[in-house]
Amino acid sequence: MKALILSGGRGTRLRPLTHTMAKQLVPVANQPILGYVMKHLQEAGIKDAGVIVAPQTQNEVRNYLKDGSLWNISITYIVQDEPLGLAHAVKTARDFLGEDDFVMYLGDNLLGTGIKDAIQRFKKEGYHCMIFLKEVSDPRAFGVAELDAQGNIVRLVEKPKVPPSNLALVGVYIFSPVVHEAIEKITPSWRGELEITDAIQVLIDSGYRVKGEILDSWWLDTGKKDDFLAANTTVLDEYTVRKIDGDVDQESTIEGRVQIEAGATILRSTIRGPVVIGKNAVIDNSFIGPFSSIGTGSKIKDSVVEHVVILEDSIVEGVVRLEDSLIGRNATVKKSKSLRGALRLMVGDHSRVEI
């Protein structure tokens, strides 16, 4: 069993942040989303992974994943010149995949559970395709699966006006090599892309066994700012434990599940968890509220922040209240204390905002 990780695309819904970084590297609870993907693959026993990268962002992805040895997974990088669909990504990786079964994992998705058990069922039951699904409140915004009584998928519909079920496609798939034959039979959709749903429908129509794997835990698609903040909230709430490795002065108060990494300094401040504060960060005369992630080397001074993701080496100073915000790397946000009200911002890397 191999893995194919999709870490290309342009990330247009997260601009301006994704003008300068791959969306799969935006950190959730101070760890890039790709790190969670790699952990799931490691737990499943995957030893060989191909990573689809875009020409514009491949260097950052390579610098983070390197050779994969951190997860004991050998990595092969595969450049997809244009984001022409998920099936096109599989086609681009054909030489790497060979005749092996493989799990395809979209690199900007977060699952609340691993994939080890699903892979074992795939092998044991002899399925040709397994699709991870999640019940959603409004399936019209997603690809939707219709299942029979045995859990086999009989039909896939993309963003239907009248959904046949409330089961959305999550972005994790397990395939046998017969999918390559199916991809050769499809043509580009109206979007000009080779759709993986079309290839799966070919498998269904050809009589292959296509199974739905319904998640009973959370799933988060991190394609937009609010998605990232929701993912950050969920991961902090589920995984954060109280661990104080940095320096906290006597005038500061640490409440609840707060993780302060080595080298961080807390001065005259209150931190109320769940919160993660990265290495060498400085929190000075500030309040850090729940569900906040403060990146390595960042500095928060004379400010109140809550429900934010602040990336590495950024500065927030003199801000009465910053909430529901995503701040890029090496960015600065400053505000006069004479101004009232909360700020809600999305700021790209190397930016400066003065209000």
Provide the residue type at 264 as one letter: A
Distance CA 277, CA 294 (A): 5
- Above 70 in pLDDT, residue 135? yes
Domains and their CATH numbers in the chain: 2-235 (3.90.550.10), 240-354 (2.160.10.10)
Mean pLDDT of 195-208: 92
- Above 90 in pLDDT, residue 183? yes
Distance CA 143, CA 155 (A): 11
Who has greater pLDDT, 205 or 150? 205
- DSSP code string of 150-183: TSBEEEEEES-SS-S-SEEEEEEEEE-THHHHHH
Mean pLDDT of 103-129: 90
Each residue's pLDDT tens digit, 241-300: 999 999 999 999 999 999 999 999 999 999 999 999 999 999 999 999 999 999 999 999
- Above 90 in pLDDT, residue 84? no
Tokens describing residue 170: 């999550």
- Above 60 in pLDDT, residue 12? no
Q: Residue 176 CB: number of other CB atoms within 10 A?
A: 20
Each residue's pLDDT tens digit, 221-232: 666 677 778 888
How confident is the model at residue 221, as a pLDDT?
67
List Cβ neighbours of 36 (8 Å cut-off, separation of 6 or more). Answer: 28, 110, 235
Chain-wide mean pLDDT for the chain? 88
> Tokens 């003199």 sit at which residue?
318
Instruction: Enumerate the β-bridge partners of residue 146.
Output: 155
Lowest mean pLDDT among 40-54, 185-199, 248-262, 278-292: 185-199
- Above 70 in pLDDT, residue 13? no
Tokens describing residue 141: 């915004």
DSSP 8-state secondary structure symbol assigned to residue 125: H
- Above 80 in pLDDT, residue 21? no
Each residue's pLDDT tens digit, 294-341: 999 999 999 999 999 999 999 999 988 999 998 988 889 987 556 666
Q: How confident is the model at residue 186 (pLDDT cuts 50, 70, 90)?
A: very high
Backbone angles phi and psi of 93, in degrees to 5:
-95, 15
How confident is the model at residue 9, as a pLDDT?
58
How confident is the model at residue 238, as a pLDDT?
84
- First-residue to last-residue Cα distance in the chain: 53
Mean pLDDT of 145-150: 84
